[in-house]
Each structure stands twice: as structure tokens, then as C-alpha cells.
């Protein structure tokens, strides 16, 4: 693979890498220490790159919207200490909803 191909792949997949890389970094911060943050963020970014390249753009959109809505709702209902839990729960629910919507989409005739 040439350097131009690698850079183009990274440029194209950056939004997916950003979403799952940040999520991995946050998970690593709960595990504890800089090593775990870097490891979890790297694994998350790699997973995000693969999912984005496979066409998971709508999937990531649902996750981001779910995380934002869940975080805001938790902040309003339970206070600032529960905002992170609400965002994580909203992101997971957004992912589940995205999978169900994408599965119910009519297929293209062959």
C-alpha cells in the first residue's frame, strides 16, 4: 500500500475513528492509568475505522445522537455526576436502534 492510499483511508475513516477512539479512551480512563487510556483508544479507533469503511455512517450518527440526548437528559434529571452514565447509556441505545433500523430497511433486488 502506498502512503497516499493509507492517508486517504485514514482521512475517509476519521469520523468513525474519532467516535470510537474517544469512547475507548474514556473506558481506559475508568480502568486506570495512561497505558490503558492509550490502549483502549487505539483499539477503539481501529474498530471505528473498520466499521466506517464497511458503511457504518448511519450507525455512528445514531450513536452520537443517542449519547448527546442521553447525557443531556441525565444531566437534567439526575445532576452532573450522572451525565457520563447517561451519555454511555444513550450511545448504547442509539447503537441498538441503528442496528434495528438498518435491519428493517428494504433490500435492493438482485
Domain boundaries, the chain: 1-55, 56-110
pLDDT digits (tens, 9 = 90+) for 4-54: 777 777 778 888 888 888 888 888 888 888 999 999 999 999 988 888 888
CA atoms of 67 and 9, how far apart (whole Å): 26
Which of 83, 47, 86 lies closest to 66 in space, CA to CA?
86
CA atoms of 24 and 41, how far apart (whole Å): 4
**Confidence at residue 80, expressed as pLDDT on a 0 to 100 scale:** 86
Residue showing cell 485514514: 10
Q: Supply the pTM of this predicted model.
A: 0.68
The dihedral formed by the CA atoms of 102, 106, 109 and 110, expressed in degrees to the nearest 10: 20
CB within 8 A of 101, min separation 6: which ones? 58, 62
Give the Cβ contact number of residue 81 at 10 Å.
9
Amino acid at each position: 500500500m502506498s502512503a497516499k492510499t493509507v492517508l486517504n483511508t485514514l482521512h475517509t475513516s476519521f469520523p468513525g475513528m474519532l467516535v470510537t477512539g474517544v469512547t475507548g479512551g474514556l473506558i481506559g480512563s475508568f480502568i486506570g492509568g495512561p497505558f490503558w487510556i492509550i490502549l483502549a483508544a487505539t483499539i477503539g479507533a481501529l474498530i471505528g475505522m473498520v466499521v466506517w469503511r464497511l458503511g457504518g455512517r448511519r450507525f455512528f450518527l445514531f450513536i452520537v445522537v443517542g449519547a448527546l440526548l442521553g447525557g443531556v437528559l441525565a444531566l437534567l434529571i439526575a445532576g452532573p455526576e450522572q451525565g457520563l452514565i447517561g451519555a454511555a447509556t444513550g450511545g448504547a441505545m442509539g447503537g441498538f436502534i441503528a442496528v434495528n433500523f438498518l435491519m428493517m430497511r428494504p433490500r435492493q433486488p438482485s
